[in-house]
């Protein structure tokens, strides 16, 4: 991100040709290649998160569906549309820049910023809702949605299936002590609809739970709400990190737009020199693309379980 | 002698106008956009980190002199080897050759005035400084004891040291190498001088290009991984912590997805330097130019497919192990090709034994052993016995120190006259090269045996019967230490008392030797037009050999 | 390794059926390495001498490369590396596929000790007793961080991952005492986490299962338990990682406990601290000591108490004091013993010897 | 980029067309996510959602980001990034799908 801002700046500080370049063409080519290489590394940056998502969703689809069913698909969809519109206006900004149309440029940039801000506003609304429902996976950052949920629990350690009665009793008593809930007072008391739905399906014969789920939701053969909640908590962790990083990129983008607005308003860009607009455009569109994937992955998948 | 000195002085003195004399204020350095000055600042910082890591290394060897953990108690020892690893890998090995030699030479070698994005180049230096400062601060606060691999769940849940601060430092530092790589890629694509086609590029540039690809594609992943680690550590979320549903193996996958290619980030530039040295000091076109060039790219690409060979016993599936082992064997081939080509290059050459060439020959031997022991660790049946033992330690020190550091020293000596315009003491140069070679082998060869005996890594205390070999190792380390300190002395001394080197002391054809040394701020008075192939020693490379001979004759009377 | 005569050992002992597979692979690779190294090194030096610079700035010959050579030395290493891969894969397959008829042993790693439990209920710490010539399969997990169960003499090793089981198998071929290491870095006392694998003749193993200890005085026996069998020494014997209270010269004295009140160190207190460590923590120490209930038999307890007393110079063998408390834990020890014998009878092939041994 | 100063776009109507496609895609994916396509074959919902997402991404990249008119190198970097992403996914998952899970 930093390098991007940098990228734009150096046209601004000394408009026209940089000392190290032979001609404008070389300079623009360099800048655009540089921008694309930067986007490549951005893709790999988010790629790590998508890998984590892939691994855990493939292992615990039900818990993920449970979590995503609690997200509000309406807000998510609205945000998607908002971003798409902002992408359009961004593209038009470039379009007018190429025509050297200063006024339309300024207007389009303003529109883009407005939509970007709207997006962030909606995100705030969503995060607040998660906070109020006690779904922030960070210890101590949650409003206590229901006092019934104890922060301090009695929890027996896992008893190895092979252990003899004595050993079991000991390792039980040895471990069974009150401790601060490592689930970080993350509260999931919104039922387990998807799970029940799956159990229904299982009754009809065909196996529905993945192998990981068969061990991941149960302890000693019985359904263990703690473990189920852990998996949902992982979903929310991934949700917050992904959308959070995306929102961070949006904020950087807005800063970029503000600077772009200033320069465009001063009328520095012309049909011959509009590289900064184009580069900022690339960045903005990239952020849009990330969201295009985040929306179905986080909000939609698994919705059909309940409808 | 006076007169002759006079003659040399007027024929090849230090030019009045060069990048060093162009602005002397501190500001002119800190805000420079000149890739050469940035390279010099990198050189200084990187050397400091190297010394810091070296001090930790000597502490480790001293502790291992005796079986019990008596000199350092195990807690301290854990911190010491962790910080040795972190400083050396993230703050010395990865930036050293690209950021110092690459920064300085890449634009000159392709005949450009500067890197394509000079501000970003400066930015990367500052990012490196910030990341480094943060890490050093954390180390001073009390350090970190997770091992440089930060394996979970120890690093997330159990370690009560400064994991997050150090992690943040590495995270920031990562962007420095990303930006450097980005800059190199752009530069190589757009800034080549007229006539400098892709297949006229020096192999050093090819190697830097391959390295940059790895930096761009790999580094972001470690960044996000460390970020997840830090978040998990303070939020206790547990996507890496099995006790709350996570999976520690996932961390290892993400970590090694970068950290294995990172090994190639460290060694590829070294290979580039060696290609330069061998070819030039044999005064002969390199053997199989295309093959060396493409093997660099091949290594960069295949390097991304083999990370699982760090995880053979870590609980990854047998099938995955087989796949990774197979690809590991495949990736051995390009390195072998390079090795053979270098050897063949010396055939029918006219070999000049200056210090850099000694380093190059040392590299051939050490990297050969390093690479072959790599096969040991790629073959699954053997690696089950060898992982996490000193065999691994010895192997990667042979590749990293015997490969990268030796190449780095060779490169520094080779281009020192170009960087500073002055010649270091050839005599002391050769002595230190020898010492480094001998000391290194004495230090790390016994560790192969130790490893096969089963001495595990990261042990503060070990069984008595292994002491003899450890004593060898420590003894060698002291020799190695001396060998590594000497260059600091005589290179610094050469800055003041070294005799002017002249623009092209060895009459080499590369572009960097066709400008004055030290070069002017924009590298060339006139943009060069390249009409000769890489390593063109025949007469059509436009070098006046006879003039050089005459000058030599005068000076050596 | 102990029995290795050479002053610098080269190979660890071969103590399992798979060891020679690995060693064979090792030797094969060493041969390949030599076969590559010698020619290259010779060539480098030959060229270096033969073609050293004769005349200043004389140019080398004009050689651009040779397709044939390149193809050759691309193909050759590939073929060889494939043989290495196949060899490695085969050996690896044997290493990671445990046989069905293997004898089960369960291992739990924990900072910084190995807790082993035999199917017969025997539990040991930082030790593993196995009979020679029997296939042994370890089912392993850990309570906290990653560890790695590594026995160089068996040429085998496997990470222990929390939340999962990992498996390891070997068939010892030679009775003896072999190093057991933790090979995956696991924190402060990583290098202290380990002990020995004892490979015993079947008969001795059965004795050991039956829990009989060869004739030592209680104090000797106690020292043995304290330093080797139970690994108390790793925390209580001083040394760098001092996590347990020192035990020298405490017997009969009053010591302050966490929470203020004091207690006199007598047989009773020592015994309780072993069976139920959390109850009375000495001031200034953490409640990190695991309970040894079910791991020590009554006579072992007596021996331990006797040894700890001997540290304070009190050498009367432990009697009385404990008699009052035996009642409280009788049920427990009774269980462990009964499980031990019940388990071992169907389990050990020569169970009749096992039954005749104990009163030896 | 240097050589296409003024044809680096598909004109006003073109942009609006792409925009229409994107909006349609969004609505489609939203609507389809409520149908139980898994009845057809497991994972059908995921597949459809991802297909739509990829289509949308392609539109944005080709037309909004002007890749369509860009030099080969840009195409290459765009494709390469997804190729490496695929490597990361594939080689990580090959471990997970072939690993017997022992999580308890």
Q: Are residues C235 and C127 in the same domain?
A: no
- Indicate the angle between helix axes B289-302 and B248-281, nearest 10 degrees: 170
pLDDT band at D104 (very low <50, low <70, confident <90, very high): very low
Of the candidates C202, C198, C193, C123, the residue with the CA atom closest to the CA atom of residue C160: C193
Q: Of all helices (H) and strands (E), which one includes residue C167?
A: strand C166-170
What tens digit of pLDDT does each residue of C293-315 get? Answer: 767 766 677 778 778 878 877 76
In chain A, which ranges are E strands? Answer: 152-155, 177-180, 218-219, 222-223
DSSP calls for C281-341: PBTT--S-PPP-TTTS-HHHHHHHHHHHHHHTT--S---SSHHHHHHHHHHHHHHHHHHHH
Give the span between the Cα atoms of A280 and A277, in whole angstroms: 5
DSSP calls for C129-144: EEETTS-EEEEEEESS
Share of chain A above pLDDT 90, in %: 43
Token output for B549: 């001979």
Q: Are residues A134 and A46 in the same domain?
A: yes
Token output for D64: 């909004």
Other beta carbons within 10 angstroms of residue C201's beta carbon come to 12
For A45, the closest of B189, B220, B247 (CB atoms) is: B220
Phi, psi of A152, rounded to the nearest 5 degrees: -110, 125
What is the span of the domain harbouring residue A164?
Answer: 150-183
For A170, the closest of C121, C139, C293 (CB atoms) is: C293
- Indicate the angle between helix axes A193-203 and A61-70, nearest 10 degrees: 140
Buried b (16+ CB within 10 A) or exposed e, B417-450: bbbbbbbbbeebbbbbbebbbebbbbbbbbbbbb
Neighbours of chain C (3+ CB pairs under 8 A): A, B, D
Give the span between the Cα atoms of B182 and A33, in whole angstroms: 9
Q: How many CB pairs under 8 A join A and B?
A: 142
What tens digit of pLDDT does each residue of D66-101 get? Answer: 888 888 999 999 999 999 999 999 999 998 888 765
In chain C, count of helices (H) and strands (E)?
A: 9, 12
Share of chain C above pLDDT 70, in %: 79
Other beta carbons within 10 angstroms of residue A114's beta carbon come to 15
Residue D103 to chain C, least CA–CA distance (Å): 5
Q: Are residues C189 and C286 in the same domain?
A: no
Tens place of pLDDT per residue across chain C (360 aa): 444 445 567 888 889 999 999 999 999 999 999 999 999 999 999 999 999 888 878 888 888 888 899 999 999 999 999 999 999 999 998 888 888 888 988 898 888 889 888 877 777 889 899 999 999 999 888 888 899 999 999 999 999 988 788 889 999 999 999 999 999 999 888 998 989 999 999 988 888 887 754 546 667 777 778 877 777 777 776 654 567 777 877 787 888 787 777 787 877 778 778 877 777 777 777 777 777 776 776 667 777 877 887 887 776 544 433 333 333 333 333 333 333 333 333 333 333 333 333 332
Q: Are residues A49 and A177 in the same domain?
A: no
Of the candidates C275, C279, C278, the residue with the CA atom closest to the CA atom of residue C267: C275
Of the candidate ranges B179-193, B309-323, B385-399, the one whose mean pLDDT is the lowest: B309-323
- With respect to residue C87, please indicate whether it lies within any of the assigned structural domains: no
* A98–D contact, CB cutoff 8 A: yes
CA C16 to each of CA A120, B39, C19, C89, C95: distance values in angstroms, whole numbers, following the listed order: 64, 55, 5, 19, 11
Using a cut of 0.80, tell me whether the model's pTM lies above it.
yes
Instruction: Give the three-state DSSP class for B324.
Output: helix
CA nearest A35 in D: which residue? Answer: D74
The whole-number pLDDT of residue A147 equals 54
Beta bridge pairs of residue A173: none
* B320–D contact, CB cutoff 8 A: yes
Share of chain B above pLDDT 70, in %: 97
Q: Read off the CATH number of the domain in which B526 is found.
A: 1.20.210.10
D101, D102, D103, best to mutate vs chain C, most C CBs in 10 Å: D102
What is the span of the domain harbouring residue B549?
Answer: 2-556
- With respect to residue C75, please indicate whether it lies within any of the assigned structural domains: no
Residue D85 to chain C, least CA–CA distance (Å): 27
For C65, the closest of B153, B288, B465 (CB atoms) is: B288
Other beta carbons within 10 angstroms of residue B382's beta carbon come to 28
Other beta carbons within 10 angstroms of residue B66's beta carbon come to 16
Q: Are residues A39 and A173 in the same domain?
A: no
Buried b (16+ CB within 10 A) or exposed e, C314-323: eeeebeeebe
What tens digit of pLDDT does each residue of A80-96 get? Answer: 999 999 999 999 999 99
Other beta carbons within 10 angstroms of residue A307's beta carbon come to 9
Q: Are residues A7 and A46 in the same domain?
A: yes
Of the candidate ranges A142-151, B30-39, B53-62, B252-261, the one whose mean pLDDT is the lowest: A142-151
Residue D17 to chain C, least CA–CA distance (Å): 52
B189, B215, B313, B317, best to mutate vs chain D, most D CBs in 10 Å: B317
Give the span between the Cα atoms of C342 and D5, in whole angstroms: 89
What tens digit of pLDDT does each residue of A277-303 get? Answer: 999 999 999 999 999 999 999 999 888
pLDDT, chain C, mean: 77
- With respect to residue A123, please indicate whether it lies within any of the assigned structural domains: yes
Spans of all domains in chain D: 11-98
What is the span of the domain harbouring residue C118?
Answer: 103-210
Of the candidate ranges A46-50, B15-19, B145-149, the one whose mean pLDDT is the lowest: B15-19
User: Could you tell me the maximum CA-CA distance found in chain B, to the nearest angstrom?
Assistant: 81
- D26 to chain A: which residues are within 8 Å by CB? 77, 80-81, 84, 295
Q: In chain C, how many domains are there? A: 2
Q: Are residues C153 and C228 in the same domain?
A: no
Which residues touch A228 (CB under 8 Å, ≥6 apart)? A63, A66, A188, A192, A195, A217
Q: In chain B, how many domains are there? A: 1
- With respect to residue C333, please indicate whether it lies within any of the assigned structural domains: yes
Which residues touch D64 (CB under 8 Å, ≥6 apart)? A87, A88, A90, A91, A281, A285, D15, D18
Handedness of CA A27, A29, A30, A31 (dihedral sign): positive
Phi, psi of B146, rounded to the nearest 5 degrees: -95, 0
What tens digit of pLDDT does each residue of A108-151 get? Answer: 999 999 999 999 999 999 999 888 888 888 766 766 655 555 55
Neighbours of chain B (3+ CB pairs under 8 A): A, C, D
Instruction: Name the DSSP class of C191.
Output: G
Token output for B197: 């086609």
CB pair distance less than 8 Å for B190 and A237 = no
Q: Do A135 and A236 form a contact (C-beta atoms < 8 A)?
A: yes
Token output for D44: 């059908």
What tens digit of pLDDT does each residue of B50-82 get? Answer: 999 999 999 999 999 999 988 998 899 999 999
Tell whether the model's pLDDT for residue B402 goes beyond 60.
yes
Buried b (16+ CB within 10 A) or exposed e, D12-38: eeebeebbebbbebbeebbebbeeebb
Give the span between the Cα atoms of B136 and D51, in whole angstroms: 47
- With respect to residue C61, please indicate whether it lies within any of the assigned structural domains: no
Q: Of all helices (H) and strands (E), which one includes residue C254?
A: strand C254-256
Neighbours of chain A (3+ CB pairs under 8 A): B, C, D
- With respect to residue A213, please indicate whether it lies within any of the assigned structural domains: no
Q: Considering only residues 328 to 347 of chain C, which have any Cβ-Cβ distance to chain B shorter than 8 Å?
A: none
The whole-number pLDDT of residue A146 equals 53
Give the span between the Cα atoms of A206 and A199, in whole angstroms: 10
- With respect to residue A219, please indicate whether it lies within any of the assigned structural domains: no
Q: Read off the CATH number of the domain in which C316 is found.
A: 1.10.760.10
Of the candidates A119, A99, A101, A100, the residue with the CA atom closest to the CA atom of residue A111: A119
Q: Do C210 and C358 form a contact (C-beta atoms < 8 A)?
A: yes
* D90–B contact, CB cutoff 8 A: no
Q: Are residues A134 and A250 in the same domain?
A: yes
The whole-number pLDDT of residue C322 equals 35
Phi, psi of C124, rounded to the nearest 5 degrees: -140, 165
Q: Do B216 and A43 form a contact (C-beta atoms < 8 A)?
A: no
Beta bridge pairs of residue B422: B500
Of the candidates A64, A114, A75, the residue with the CA atom closest to the CA atom of residue A93: A114
Give the span between the Cα atoms of A35 and A26, in whole angstroms: 14
The whole-number pLDDT of residue A161 equals 41
Q: In chain A, how many domains are there? A: 2
Neighbours of chain D (3+ CB pairs under 8 A): A, B, C
Give the span between the Cα atoms of C287 and C290, in whole angstroms: 9
- C121 to chain A: which residues are within 8 Å by CB? 164, 166-167
Which residues touch A223 (CB under 8 Å, ≥6 apart)? A195, A217
Token output for B330: 């495949």
Token output for D60: 């944005």
- With respect to residue A171, please indicate whether it lies within any of the assigned structural domains: yes
CA nearest B292 in C: which residue? Answer: C70
Residue C268: how many CA atoms within 13 Å on its side-chain side? 11
Tell whether the model's pLDDT for residue A179 goes beyond 50.
no
Give the span between the Cα atoms of A241 and A160, in whole angstroms: 34
Question: What pairing do the DSSP bridges indicate for beta strands C103-110 and C136-142?
Answer: parallel
Q: Are residues C110 and C198 in the same domain?
A: yes
CB pair distance less than 8 Å for B308 and D95 = yes
Give the span between the Cα atoms of B36 and B57, in whole angstroms: 31
What tens digit of pLDDT does each residue of C128-185 get? Answer: 999 999 999 998 888 888 999 999 999 999 999 887 888 899 999 999 999 999 999 9
Q: Are residues C246 and C118 in the same domain?
A: no
**Residue scoring higher pLDDT (B142 or A8):** B142
Question: What pairing do the DSSP bridges indicate for beta strands C113-118 and C123-125?
Answer: antiparallel
The whole-number pLDDT of residue C242 equals 63
């Amino acid at each position: 991100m930093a390098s991007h801002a940098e990228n734009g700046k150096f046209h601004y500080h000394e408009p026209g040709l940089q000392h190290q370049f032979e001609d404008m063409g070389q300079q623009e080519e360099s800048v655009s290649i540089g921008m694309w290489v930067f986007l490549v590394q951005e893709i790999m940056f988010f790629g790590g998160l998508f890998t984590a998502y892939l691994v855990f969703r493939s292992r615990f689809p039900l818990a993920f569906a449970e979590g995503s069913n609690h997200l509000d698909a309406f807000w998510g969809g609205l945000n998607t549309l908002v971003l798409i519109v902002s992408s359009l206006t961004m593209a038009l900004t470039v379009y007018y820049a190429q025509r050297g149309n200063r006024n339309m440029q300024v207007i389009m940039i303003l529109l883009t910023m407005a939509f970007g801000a709207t997006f962030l506003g909606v995100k705030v609304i969503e995060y607040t809702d998660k906070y109020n429902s006690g779904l922030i996976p960070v210890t101590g950052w949650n409003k206590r949605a229901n006092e019934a949920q104890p922060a301090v629990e009695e929890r027996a350690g896992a008893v190895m299936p092979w252990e003899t009665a004595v050993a079991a009793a000991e390792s039980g008593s040895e471990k069974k002590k009150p401790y601060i809930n490592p689930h970080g007072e993350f509260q999931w008391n919104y039922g387990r609809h998807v799970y029940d739905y799956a159990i229904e399906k299982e009754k009809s014969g065909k196996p529905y739970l993945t192998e990981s789920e068969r061990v991941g939701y149960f302890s000693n053969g019985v359904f263990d709400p703690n473990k189920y909640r852990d998996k949902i908590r992982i979903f929310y962790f991934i949700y917050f990190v992904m959308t959070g990083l995306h929102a961070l990129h949006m904020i950087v983008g807005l800063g970029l737009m503000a600077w772009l607005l200033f320069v465009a308003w001063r009328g520095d860009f012309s049909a011959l020199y509009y590289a900064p607009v184009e580069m900022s455009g690339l960045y903005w569109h990239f952020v849009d693309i990330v969201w295009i994937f985040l929306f179905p992955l986080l909000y939609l998948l698994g919705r059909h379980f309940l409808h | 002698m006076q007169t002759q000195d006079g003659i040399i002085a007027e024929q090849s003195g230090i030019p009045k106008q060069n990048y060093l004399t162009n602005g002397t204020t501190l500001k002119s350095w800190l805000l420079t956009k000149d890739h050469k000055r940035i390279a010099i600042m990198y050189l200084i910082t990187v050397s400091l980190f190297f010394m810091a890591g070296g001090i930790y290394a000597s502490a480790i060897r001293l502790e291992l002199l005796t079986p019990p953990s008596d000199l350092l108690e195990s807690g301290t020892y854990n911190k010491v080897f962790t910080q040795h690893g972190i400083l050396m890998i993230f703050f010395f090995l990865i930036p050293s050759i690209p950021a110092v030699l690459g920064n300085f030479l890449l634009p000159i070698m392709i005949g450009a005035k500067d890197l394509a994005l000079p501000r970003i180049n400066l930015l990367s230096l500052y990012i490196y400084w910030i990341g480094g400062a943060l890490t050093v601060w954390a180390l001073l606060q009390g350090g970190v004891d997770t091992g440089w691999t930060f394996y979970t769940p120890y690093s997330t849940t159990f370690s009560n040291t400064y994991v997050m601060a150090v992690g943040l430092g590495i995270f920031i530092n990562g962007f420095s190498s990303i930006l450097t790589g980005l800059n190199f890629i752009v530069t190589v694509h757009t800034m080549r001088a007229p006539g400098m086609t892709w297949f006229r590029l020096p192999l050093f540039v090819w190697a830097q290009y391959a390295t940059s690809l790895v930096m761009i594609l790999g580094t972001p992943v470690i960044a996000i991984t460390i970020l997840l680690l830090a978040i998990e550590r303070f939020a206790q979320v547990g996507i890496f912590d099995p006790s709350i549903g996570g999976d520690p193996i996932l961390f290892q996958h993400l970590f090694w997805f970068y950290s294995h290619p990172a090994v190639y980030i460290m060694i590829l530039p070294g290979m580039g330097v060696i290609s330069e040295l061998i070819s030039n000091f044999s005064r002969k076109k390199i053997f199989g130019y295309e093959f060396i060039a493409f093997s660099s790219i091949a290594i960069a690409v295949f390097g991304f497919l083999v990370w699982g060979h760090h995880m053979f016993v870590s609980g990854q599936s047998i099938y995955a192990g087989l796949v990774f082992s197979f690809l590991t064997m495949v990736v051995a081939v390009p390195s072998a090709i390079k090795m053979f080509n270098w050897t063949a290059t010396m055939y029918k050459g006219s070999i000049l034994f200056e210090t850099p060439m000694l380093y190059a020959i040392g590299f051939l031997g050490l990297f050969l052993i390093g690479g072959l022991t790599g096969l040991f660790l790629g073959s699954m049946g053997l690696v089950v016995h060898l992982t996490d033992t000193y065999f691994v330690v010895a192997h990667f020190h042979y590749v990293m120190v015997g490969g990268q550091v030796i190449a780095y020293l060779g490169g520094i000596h080779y281009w020192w006259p170009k960087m500073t315009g002055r010649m270091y003491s050839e005599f002391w140069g050769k002595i230190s090269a020898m010492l480094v070679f001998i000391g290194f082998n004495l230090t790390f060869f016994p560790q192969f045996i130790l490893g096969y005996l089963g001495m595990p890594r990261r042990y503060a205390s070990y069984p008595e019967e292994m002491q003899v070999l450890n004593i060898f190792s420590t003894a060698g380390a002291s020799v190695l230490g001396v060998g590594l300190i000497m260059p600091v002395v005589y290179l610094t001394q050469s800055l003041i008392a070294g005799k002017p080197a002249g623009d092209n002391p060895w009459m080499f054809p590369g572009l960097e030797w066709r400008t004055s040394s030290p070069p002017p701020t924009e590298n060339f008075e006139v943009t060069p037009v390249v009409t000769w192939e890489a390593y063109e020693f025949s007469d059509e490379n436009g070098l006046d050999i006879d003039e050089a001979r005459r000058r030599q004759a005068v000076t050596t009377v | 390794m102990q029995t290795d005569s050479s002053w610098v050992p080269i190979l660890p002992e071969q103590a399992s059926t798979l060891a020679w597979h690995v060693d064979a692979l090792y030797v094969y690779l060493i041969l390949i390495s030599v076969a590559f190294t010698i020619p290259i090194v010779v060539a480098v030096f030959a060229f270096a001498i033969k073609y050293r610079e004769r005349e200043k700035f004389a140019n080398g010959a004009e050689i651009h490369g040779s397709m044939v050579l390149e193809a050759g030395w691309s193909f050759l290493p590939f073929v060889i590396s494939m043989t290495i891969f196949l060899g490695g894969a085969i050996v690896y397959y044997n290493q990671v596929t445990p046989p069905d008829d293997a004898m089960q042993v369960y291992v739990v790693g924990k900072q910084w000790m190995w807790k082993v439990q035999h199917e017969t209920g025997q539990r040991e710490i930082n030790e593993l007793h196995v009979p020679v010539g029997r296939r042994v399969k370890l089912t392993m997990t850990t309570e906290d961080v990653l560890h790695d169960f590594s026995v160089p003499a068996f040429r085998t090793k496997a990470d222990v991952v929390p939340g999962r089981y990992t498996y390891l198998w070997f068939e010892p071929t030679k009775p003896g005492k072999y190093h057991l290491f933790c090979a995956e870095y696991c924190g402060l006392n990583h290098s202290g986490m380990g002990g020995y694998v004892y490979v015993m003749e079947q008969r001795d193993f059965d004795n050991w299962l039956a829990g009989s200890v060869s004739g030592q005085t209680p104090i000797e026996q106690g020292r043995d338990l304290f330093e080797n069998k139970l690994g108390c020494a790793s925390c209580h014997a001083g040394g760098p990682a001092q996590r347990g209270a020192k035990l020298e010269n405490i017997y009969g004295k009053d010591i302050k406990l966490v929470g203020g009140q004091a207690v006199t160190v007598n047989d009773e207190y020592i015994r309780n601290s072993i069976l139920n460590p959390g109850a009375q923590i000495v001031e200034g120490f953490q409640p990190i000591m695991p309970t040894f209930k079910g791991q020590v038999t009554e006579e072992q307890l007596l021996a331990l108490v006797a040894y700890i007393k001997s540290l304070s110079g009190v050498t009367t063998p432990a009697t009385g004091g404990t008699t009052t408390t035996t009642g409280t834990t009788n049920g427990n020890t009774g269980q462990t013993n009964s499980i031990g014998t019940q388990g071992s009878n169907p389990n050990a092939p020569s169970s009749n010897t096992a039954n005749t041994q104990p009163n030896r | 980029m240097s050589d296409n100063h003024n044809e680096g776009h598909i004109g006003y109507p073109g942009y609006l067309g792409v925009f229409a496609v994107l909006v349609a895609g969004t609505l489609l994916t939203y609507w389809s996510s409520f149908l139980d396509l898994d009845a057809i074959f497991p994972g059908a919902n995921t597949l459809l959602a991802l297909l739509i997402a990829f289509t949308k991404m392609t539109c944005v990249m080709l037309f909004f980001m002007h890749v369509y008119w860009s030099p080969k190198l840009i195409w290459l970097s765009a494709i390469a990034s997804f190729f490496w992403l695929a490597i990361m996914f594939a080689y990580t998952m090959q471990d997970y799908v072939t690993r017997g899970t022992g999580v308890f």
